[in-house]
Each structure stands twice: as structure tokens, then as C-alpha cells.
Amino acid sequence: MEKDNLILIINDLRSKRDALSLAHEELKSNNDDWNKGIILLSLTGGLLESAKMKLNLTGAGWGLLPIMISSIIASMSSLIKFRKYPERMEVLIQGISLLTNTLNKCRNHKDIDDDILMDYNMALEKLETSVYPSVRKKYLKQSHKNLIEIMKQEKKYYDAIDYVNNRVECKEDSDTTSSEDLINYSNSPLQTKRTLPQTEGRLRQIDEEEGDEEEGL
């Protein structure tokens, strides 16, 4: 598919960069699992040697067991070298770095130019030489799915922010209207007529109290 605008190029670079990251993640996980197995077997072999010396275990089985463990460790180490985990991870890291730099460059541009196209083509070439087509297909499919889920989640997040902001604005408008209505109501003629008898009654009460005080004097 031809990418004729910058947004398409950016999205394509994101998906391919994430695909290489997923491939690197699986390779690193496999490499770590093999190394953990080697460490565990090495500790087990050392523990058996210490127990054999402390307990004076001289049986043929106890003498053969450390040799078997050492052979398994050597086989696992050879398998790691045969599968070239470090070299393959280094190739993927270089591809991720190139794709990330090209992605940042595209984000800092507003239009497509010859420099962008050249970097984009170099990034695609690095991707295609980093992994086999079947592996690339597998991780691109997973990368596309992840990016779609991320975009959906971001849309829900920003929609929720807009909803909260609109609710707050509506509430503030409602509070302002209520205050204005209260002020207008307190200044209305009806309110004045209703409070007038109460004021006259209070004045009569004050006059009566003053008259009682004068009689007391």
C-alpha cells in the first residue's frame, strides 16, 4: 500500500517498530529462560557436590550425577550459541532504533519531502532484513491489533474528559442561574410586601418595650 501522506507513514512506522519490539521481547524471554535454567542447574550441581563432601557419599550414582548436570549445562550453552540469541537481538535493536529515529523525524515535519522518503525506505529495508517474512507477518498482525486497542482506549479517555468538563460547565451555569434567581426574588415586589407586616410588628414591639421601661422609671 502506497503511503501518500505523513499520517499514514507515521502509523506504518509505529506498527513496524512495535512489531520488531515484540519480536525482540520474545527472543529476550527465550534467552532469559535458557540462562535461568543454566543458573539453576549450576546451583544444583554445586549443592550436590557440597552435600557429597559433607556426608561422605561415595556411591557410583553420586559420582555420576554431577557429571550429568555438567553435561546438560554444556548442552544448553551450546544451544544458546547455536540459536544466536544475542546476535539476533542486536539486529532487532538496530532496526528498532532506525525506525524510532525515522518516526521522530516524521513527527517533526508537516509535509513529506525527499529526506523523509529516503529515511522511510531505509527503515523498511532494515525491517525486511531483520526478520523472516513469516515472523514479520506474525508480529505485524499482533502490532496492528495492539495499536487499534490503544487508539480505542485513548478515544474513550478523551471522550470521558470532555464529558466531565461539560458536566462541570453545566453545573457552574446552573449554580450561577440559581444565585441570580435568588437575588431577583429577594428584590421583587412580592417579597417586599410579604416582609412588610413583619417589620411593622417588630416596630410596635420595640415601642411597647420602651413604654414599659419609662413606666418602671
How far is the C-alpha of 81 from the C-alpha of 24, rounded, in Å? Answer: 17
Q: What is the distance between the alpha carbons of residues 3 and 1, in angstroms, rounded to a whole number? A: 6
Query: Mind listing the pLDDT tens digit for each residue in 133-182?
Result: 999 999 999 999 999 999 999 999 999 998 888 876 666 666 555 544 44
**CA proximity to 93, closest of 27, 188, 2:** 27
pTM, 2 dp: 0.70
Top-confidence residue, 61 or 118: 118
Residue pair 48/65 in contact (Cβ under 8 Å)? The answer is yes
Residue 210 has what pLDDT? 59
Scan for cell 487499534, then name that residue: 148
- pLDDT at position 200 over 50: yes
What lies within 8 Å, CB to CB, of 115 at 6+ separation is 105
3-state secondary structure 33-91: HHHHHHHHHHHHHHHHHHHHHHHCCCCHHHHHHHHHHHHHHHHHHHHHHHHCHHHHHHH
206's grid cell? 420595640
Is 131 in contact with 22 (CB distance < 8 Å)?
Answer: no
